[in-house]
Structure 1
């Protein structure tokens, strides 16, 4: 005979969503009913297990004077109590659903509060928790209110009968692990605590309970239809539309529609007998029609991001200013859509999306990814016992967020396999809200969803889908396609997103995608700058896979965000300007000197945009002015004539045209750049160095023009007064996260293949130093130990007396089966070389498949600012299309153009570093001049670089010219 003792904490392992909470309802921030925030400093006690302490702490009069204090909202592991844990999908505890470990960190929270003096004595009150991870039990004044699960969802309790004017004791016991943890296996830090707001709401007699704002738009008539369903009778007024109707009644009037580009909101009021609730109403209609997602009759193209909630010090406890900063950054970088991966966000974020204009896929707080390790056996979404919890999560999302016009799609969750529970969720959502579509990526056959969704599909597969050649079920083939995750923004990258965007714009069925993801989840840490998985001693972790965002943890944009802004810009500016450009030849003589402007917005015209032109010679603007462009409607294009270019003589010339905000907007100031285009007029002149000087041997040195070389090795030692160290061929770069690929990708992870081949430890053999009448020739072989492959490398040095030219010839030997990381030369300069000037691509870094945002011009920086501070150090900082660069008293010109980078450590030291604090500046500035770089791709979770961005080992020749800056 066996038995299990029932304990007071059995609710922790109960698969039910909890007991005692009120039914879910619409969330609103304010009304004329009184509210009291209970955020602030709470008393806190941490226990090692769920049942280490009894519940006497909830009794009035309990002395918690020796307890610690923590901030609520907040996570106790980020406030000195325990440590965070990062896993991508592995559960950090044994998988035995619904059981959890005995070692279950449990935080007891206490808050004593008084009611305001003017708190009404009539009516009731509701205590609302907006987010607690992962399971909480609540007492007020010694009365057990119940317990709840569903970490990123609101829960309310009726408490009016328990309140006192003063000395109210609110006690909350929070368990890190519970049955709910099996449903919340999202790729993020495990962070227990009360991390969203706690609020006491007065509920006067006759107050508003739940309500549903239905505000549709008929694009054929320009009219909107409003109906507000309410659990209590009342009236709805919208002064700007002269609307004054009873709840439940429909009214149709001419309106301006809401879209992400034109987020028109109408202020209204829902008034019941006891309460007035402000409304912000956006009229719009979302349908699946002709195999496309349409809003207000128009197909939309999602230019989106996946957004986890994150702050480097507060975790998921975001304040309004941080949420607003996110939205403004998105709008200013041309992002028009957000998938709230992988849970509903703080409701204030959706209010911002309504106001500023972002399409939202609102995702349920559901992921069971860890069950993939056992082939999805025992997956809760296919176990009827868990279905009530799944339906509760769906209802709490939909009911909370149903009145936001920005929410156009509901998502069942993420990476939870398939099963009956998901079908039940989809059926409930479709029945509750027919005005939106339903998404779930894991439903490959689209049984329960309204769109075909994939993650990280390769470019060629996306094109097949766009052409309707993807196979699958008939239903899936008839549905629109979105990439709910693509362009994995981990470290240096993502690469190849411009190639995806071209596909999205070519095929109607492809309705865009969402970059993974918005922000690096680095935790501010004195040891490392920013910490990632494993830095807190976790026994299981997934390293820096948690740092895969377009923003660094401190919310500074990464080069990936700058690239994405350019790739998805809503105005296309293309120019011809010269017969040099082949594509202009079929346009007739009048096409030269014109620019084509295309409005790529879905809804907005260009009346809010001003255009400027600049004519540049060798990267410097010599003339500029305003360019008249008509207020093009969405999808329209116009050819606009440019002014006559000035006569500037010789030099490389080009036009640059910019699209700027004409006036201040809610999200950007006047002059903010929305889009730009650049196109050449005349090509750069060739770099010519006459071979006038002959090399001279003497005193252990070879002298050639301004340069001296070691007579034994042929190594360059100086150019004029500038000392140069260690110039030689370089093929190694510190592998990026995308070079290294993901563990589940067994083939063609080039970072690993490069290391296996030994490209990080190349040996340089000197074969000959030859002096001829006009040149110094140094013959070498560069190859890794233990391998037969190599690169026969010849340096041929010539001079005209003032400048020094090297021509590097590289011939592969052996069977090269992998591309090269980079190909160029590296050398050292004095550490006093602090500032850099260059004419080429900028201002930020670029690589072969991340160069859309690289603008040709003259730029200036410090050596330290050239680098990009990726949380895990890796290859960074290259500038593309460089004509010349100056630093440390040296000027370098290239033929052809080259990639340039400089840093105060070697590539090998960069490769060895695991955190930014590992990089200690040395006394040498190491400069790379690269003829080629391998592409970046997004293989940290997606595809590697496309073949056209491979740097193949093949016979190559390139030149550089060095001169001392006078």
Structure 2
């Protein structure tokens, strides 16, 4: 791999000069500091090389995806004063550390104590401060190699969710901070990478200023508890999108639109964005295109595409018909730069005379609360467990779910 565009950092690392600082208590006890170095939140999706892979939506089938799930080196201490301070250095020796599975909660794997409580805080109340005598710290390390085929692309590090305040380092350099437990945290790590082995280190404080917001009736568990992976993006790419699938007033024809954010990481030639909607048989029933101007430098452009589909097959809870949206960003020669998409269902949700209506039909809500929790894996919910929950709910005529009290794993939303 030849193009990571940070020779100065490489020289600093080679010379052993410190280029990062250890986590500071002022950082995890400062409500004004909600994150550091993160990308702006966006929809969750994967870029693919083959259009057929968009429909399958299996991240592992993309050449631009690399999972970092699995066995990591791990160190646990009961309080911050005992934590390793130079854990992020590339020369740090973690040979004596134990191992842990990621994603996972460290309390479920034998480190620390799981706590169940409702409105009573599991630590002495002194907002926004945390008692330093009782704030467990988990420190993670692992190495990875960036595929040679990713040269010249931007590399984004994705954490699906981290329970606790996390400090992230790559090759001895501070990348950023995450405090949002149930939302993805993404970092552009391109400039920190080097050919060959790269070192990723993460230190997680169990309690922090944001823990005062988690005053909820659930199990308190900690760690990297959703998928961790790398994704590679072209210099001119689909960065975000919002797909809208509605019905016209007759409930017969589909009204489609999508708002797409195209991002460039530098100057790039003009491109063209294509949106295709495929019916359940795989036939293209709508195709819209729009030119994307050549960016002069790094930045984003907003592109909106829309159209109608006659006699669309509507989505309902009883007959959940789904169409496939496929988005393609291509250069002037027609070569695909980014291909992605999502499943969509055409439906109209309204309230008329205090009655909830779906596609013009009155709907009675039969709902349940659901926390992300499994008996043996804690907050790490398997897809098999999700399917089992949904099948049980459908068998009992449940048609609504309250996701308490946080954004659910994206796989759950896809299955629903």
1:244 matches 2:287: yes
Which of 269, 285, 290 is the matching residue for 2:353? 290
Q: Distance in 2 between matches of 1:165 and 1:261?
A: 52
CA displacement at 1:62 relative to structure 2: 1.5
Shift of 1:30: 5.6
Matched, 1:114 2:139: no
**SS of match in other structure, 1:350:** helix
CA distance in 1 between partners of 2:362 and 2:121 (Å) = 40
Provide the secondary structure at the position in 1 that maps to 2:230: strand
1:493-525 Cα deviation digits (max 9, x unpaired): xxxxxxxxxxxxxxxxxxxxxxxxxxxxxxxxx
Q: What TM-score results when the alignment is normalised by the length of structure 2?
A: 0.80
Q: Distance in 2 between matches of 1:165 and 1:325?
A: 43
Residue of structure 2 equivalent to 1:20 = 37
2:414 corresponds in structure 1 to: 351
Deviation at 1:49, TM superposition (A): 2.0
- Aligned-partner SS, 1:231: strand
CA distance in 1, matches of 2:338, 2:390: 31
* CA drift at 1:119: 3.4
Over residues 670-700 of structure 1, what are the superposed CA-to-partner deviations in whole Å (9 max), with x where a residue is unaligned?
xxxxxxxxxxxxxxxxxxxxxxxxxxxxxxx
Cα shift readout 1:122-160 (whole Å, capped 9, x = no counterpart): 220111111111211100111101111110111100012
Q: When the two structures are superposed, what TM-score results if normalisation uses the length of structure 1?
A: 0.35
Q: 1:277 corresponds to which residue?
A: 340
Q: Partners of 1:119 and 1:321 in 2: how far apart?
A: 33
Alignment CA distance shift 1:245-1:51 (3 Å): farther
Q: Does the Cα contact within 8 Å between 1:101 and 1:177 map onto a contact in 2?
A: no
1:396-455 Cα distance to aligned partner (Å, 9 max, x none):
xxxxxxxxxxxxxxxxxxxxxxxxxxxxxxxxxxxxxxxxxxxxxxxxxxxxxxxxxxxx
The SS at the match of 1:207 is: strand
Are 1:45 and 2:75 matched, yes or no? yes
Contact 1:9 1:51 in 2 (8 A): no
CA displacement at 1:290 relative to structure 2 = 2.1
Per the TM alignment, residue 205 of structure 1 is displaced from its structure 2 partner at its CA by: 2.1
| Inter-partner Cα distance in structure 2 for 1:351 and 1:185 | 28
Contact 1:11 1:18 (8 Å CA) reproduced: no
* Aligned mate of 1:152, from 179, 182, 185: 182
The equivalent residue for 1:722 is none
Q: Quick check: which has more Rg, 1 or 2? A: 1
How does 1:217-232 map onto structure 2 within 5 Å?
Answer: 217-232=247-262
Q: Retained in 2: the 8 A contact 1:219–1:296?
A: no
Provide Cα deviations, 1:906-965, integer angstroms capped at 9, x if missing partner: xxxxxxxxxxxxxxxxxxxxxxxxxxxxxxxxxxxxxxxxxxxxxxxxxxxxxxxxxxxx
Aligned length: 347
Q: Are the aligned partners of 1:31 and 1:278 in contact in 2 as well (CA < 8 Å)?
A: no
1:8 aligned partner = 24
Distance 1:321 1:221 in 2: 35
What are the Cα deviations for residues 569-599 of structure 1, in whole angstroms up to 9, with x where unaligned? xxxxxxxxxxxxxxxxxxxxxxxxxxxxxxx
State how far apart, in whole Å, the 2-side matches of 1:283 and 1:256 are. 7
SS for the counterpart of 1:119 is: helix
CA positional deviation for 1:204? 1.3
Trace 1:435-514 onto structure 2 (pairs within 5 A): none
Please list every run of 5 or more consecutive structure 1 residues that lacks an aligned counterpart in the other structure.
Answer: 1-5, 354-966
After superposition, residues 794-943 of structure 1 pair within 5 angstroms as none
Query: Residues 847-872 of structure 1, C-alpha deviation per residue, up to 9 Å, x if partnerless?
Result: xxxxxxxxxxxxxxxxxxxxxxxxxx
1:320, distance to aligned residue in structure 2 (A) = 1.6
CA distance in 1, matches of 2:286, 2:66: 32
Aligned to 2:371: 308
1:255-308, Cα deviation, whole Å (9 max, x unpaired): 111122221111121111321003211112223332233222233211111111
- Cα offset for 1:193? 0.7
Aligned equivalents of 2:85, 2:286: Cα separation in 1: 53
Query: Partner of 2:380 in structure 1?
Result: 317
Give secondary structure in 1 for the equivalent of 2:287: strand
Check the 8 A contact 2:251/2:359 in 1, yes or no: no
Q: Contact between 2:251 and 2:360, CA under 8 Å: does it hold in 1?
A: no
**C-alpha separation in 2, matches of 1:45 and 1:94:** 25
* Separation (CA, whole Å) in 2 of partners of 1:327 and 1:81: 31
Q: Which residue of 1 aligns with 2:333?
A: none
Whole-Å Cα distance in 1 between the matches of residues 122 and 352 of structure 2? 44
Query: How large is the RMSD of aligned CA atoms in angstroms?
Result: 1.8
SS across alignment from 2:125? coil
